[in-house]
Structure 1
């Protein structure tokens, strides 16, 4: 029987330290952590590893339910998978475990709240962007590619493969940028 801690943050500017410290204080023998969105399980390799190696009697421990996921159905499916393997899930804040029947009810409600919170955050973000656009202050997201660099290298005679390698991106992205330029 192992206590397996799982910590997650959504963005690189968030910090895992508080979650890791709390999981260590809870005597988790194994702690897996990652920087990935909680909107779905895609790109969450550490969580997949935990689920793949769960044994009967193991316990997955998270500091808050939203660290496990932001979609109610996904969280409930995850809990179901853990239970199918004879394992349980414990949330530290508020302290709820799937070991008891009431824990399932509370986790379902908490999962629904987490999903609603995610929707509220997205709505507030859209409203903020709309206000910024109306005020002329919205500049859009951060540019992911150096368009000027791509065009300069293309003008120097470099092909898409060389440019893609130099800028650490795919050739398809280079083709799109060059096509936009005309």
Structure 2
């Protein structure tokens, strides 16, 4: 059985997710696991875990691109070792990599190293750009999402909704909810 895994980093990348699903279906995937989670937040990639658990000996786990699966050599090694232990092959459609062959395994290892290098260079450039913008007084940082939802937090709290449920409902951290509630109480006194 060919099992597909598709991932985008953010919810607004709907077209990218649909394109991956289309390509995986065209490659013969009978079941596709999808999720929208940042590759930086590896701990929460539940659908990848589900796909790997679902796979059985003789199956193939397919992804459209290497960066949809892993961002570091270490992470990719862990994934491929788990798959190999189960007798599951890995296929990366972009680049025609198939780990059922020695050539495919070599190609995969080389591309992983290049992908990690590219990511590190991109992050280095990003840090340099931020430092330059800060030095010039132009860096504003990202807009605080939790503070933008402070009014909603306070309304839900007034309605008796527990803080953890507020965080889940609004898609913000529980510490942000507690901070907003604490600030509101300080202002009230």
2:12 corresponds to: 13
Does residue 71 (structure 1) correspond to residue 72 (structure 2)? The answer is yes
- How far 1:125 sits from its partner (Å)? 1.2
Q: Is the 8 A contact 1:7 1:19 kept in 2?
A: yes
What are the ranges of 5 or more consecutive residues in structure 2 without an aligned counterpart?
Answer: none
| Counterpart Cα distance in 1 of 2:73 and 2:44 | 18
- How far 1:129 sits from its partner (Å)? 1.2
Q: Alignment length, in residue pairs?
A: 176
- How far 1:120 sits from its partner (Å)? 1.3
Q: Is the 8 A contact 2:56 2:88 kept in 1?
A: yes
Does residue 106 (structure 1) correspond to residue 107 (structure 2)? The answer is yes
3-state SS of paired residue (1:145): helix
Change (3 A) 1:128 1:57: same
Change (3 A) 1:39 1:173: closer
What are the ranges of 5 or more consecutive residues in structure 1 without an aligned counterpart?
Answer: none
1:132 corresponds to: 133
Instruction: Please report the TM-score for the alignment, with normalisation by the length of structure 2.
Output: 0.79
2:90 corresponds to: 89
Equivalent residues in 2 for 1:22-101, closer than 5 Å: 22-39=23-40, 41-101=42-102
Change (3 A) 1:162 1:134: same
Q: Is the 8 A contact 1:163 1:174 kept in 2?
A: no
Q: Is the 8 A contact 1:40 1:70 kept in 2?
A: no
Q: Is the 8 A contact 1:32 1:46 kept in 2?
A: yes
| Counterpart Cα distance in 2 of 1:76 and 1:98 | 12
2:2 corresponds to: 3
| Counterpart Cα distance in 2 of 1:64 and 1:171 | 34
2:144 corresponds to: 143
Q: Is the 8 A contact 2:5 2:48 kept in 1?
A: yes
Q: Is the 8 A contact 2:57 2:86 kept in 1?
A: yes
- How far 1:166 sits from its partner (Å)? 5.9
3-state SS of paired residue (2:146): coil
- How far 1:89 sits from its partner (Å)? 0.3
Q: Which moved more, 1:74-83 or 1:165-174?
A: 165-174
| Counterpart Cα distance in 2 of 1:170 and 1:24 | 36
Change (3 A) 1:85 1:40: farther
